[in-house]
């Protein structure tokens, strides 16, 4: 059965689609088979040509169900479900389908407010700082913002994915023949971090989803994983 990761969250423009493609690209660079599954009915699907991973259109609930059936029969694959903004019901559905849940957010007070709400709503989810600034002063301000989060949520914040301007290449319809090293390095680091989480499930809020098995007991998903300090990239 494939591992399912969803990238969701209520706020628009946090980097859900970019991160989904970055993760799939990085997984492919690490020789893992990945499928980027789009679920946002307000967007057009991207073409697969030139990508190292599969792209799938699962914008309707029926297509999503079919895609999940396919993925469940593909052991070793990783399916990344790209959510859409302002769709709480879909987010809940994707959350239930996924082993691992990522909530990207940017360095703004509004993003922080929204991700706090989402972390409370989705107790197994991890907040993923996205498009994090490189500039020293901006970085300090962004880190200060995270420091204001409620203590019980801070431990669910993952190390940041830094801003990489070439990440937009992955969302182009026509892809370049080669991707910049900075993009490859950054996507590989993201994929390594996520693979580390799936390989050390005992430390992370991870749901074991199996097609024919009953729901696992709650002890399968530790409530307060000590990951923020253990993963670096």
Measured CA to CA, the distance from residue 98 to residue 126 in angstroms comes to 12
Q: 162-186 burial string, b = 16+ CB within 10 Å, else e?
A: bbbeebebbeeeebeeebeeebbeb
Report if residue 18 touches ligand ATP, rule: CB under 6 A: yes
Closest separation between CB of residue 161 and ligand ATP, Å?
5
Tell me which residue of 119, 73, 121, 81 sits closest to 99, measured CA to CA. Answer: 81
Closest separation between CB of residue 15 and ligand ATP, Å?
4
Query: Is the Cβ of residue 118 or residue 225 nearer to ligand ATP in the bound state?
Result: 118
Binding mask 4-43 for Mg ion (x = CB under 5 A): ------------xx--------------------------
Report if residue 135 touches ligand ATP, rule: CB under 6 A: no
Report if residue 161 touches ligand ATP, rule: CB under 6 A: yes
Report if residue 40 touches ligand ATP, rule: CB under 6 A: yes
Choosing from 10, 98, 167, 187, the residue that interacts with ligand ATP (CB under 6 A) is 167
Choosing from 3, 4, 5, 14, the residue that interacts with ligand ATP (CB under 6 A) is 14
Q: 10 Å Cβ neighbour count for 118? A: 22
Closest separation between CB of residue 40 and Mg ion, Å?
5
Choosing from 39, 90, 114, 131, the residue that interacts with ligand ATP (CB under 6 A) is 131
The residues binding Mg ion (CB under 5 A) are 16-17
The residues binding ligand ATP (CB under 6 A) are 12-18, 40, 84-85, 130-131, 161, 163-165, 167-168
């Amino acid at each position: 059965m494939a591992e399912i990761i969803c990238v969701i969250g209520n706020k628009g423009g946090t980097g859900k689609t970019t991160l989904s493609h970055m993760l799939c690209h990085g997984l492919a660079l690490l020789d893992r088979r990945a499928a980027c599954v789009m679920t946002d009915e307000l967007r057009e699907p991207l073409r697969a040509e030139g990508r190292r991973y599969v792209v799938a259109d699962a914008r309707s609930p029926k297509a999503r169900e079919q895609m999940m059936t396919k993925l469940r029969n593909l052991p070793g694959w990783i399916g990344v479900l790209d959510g859409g903004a302002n769709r709480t019901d879909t987010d809940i559905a994707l959350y239930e389908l996924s082993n691992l849940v990522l909530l990207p957010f940017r360095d703004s007070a509004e993003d922080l407010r929204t991700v706090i709400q989402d972390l409370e709503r989705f107790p197994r989810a991890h907040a993923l700082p996205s498009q994090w600034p490189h500039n020293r002063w901006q970085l300090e301000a962004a880190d200060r913002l995270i420091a204001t989060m409620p203590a019980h949520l801070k431990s669910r914040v993952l190390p940041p994915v830094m801003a990489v301007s070439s990440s937009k290449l992955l969302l182009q319809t026509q892809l370049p023949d080669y991707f910049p090293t900075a993009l490859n390095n950054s996507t590989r680091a993201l994929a390594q971090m996520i693979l580390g989480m799936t390989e050390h499930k005992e430390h992370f809020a991870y749901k074991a989803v199996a097609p024919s098995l009953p729901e696992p007991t709650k002890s399968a998903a530790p409530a307060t994983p000590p990951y923020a300090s253990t993963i670096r990239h």
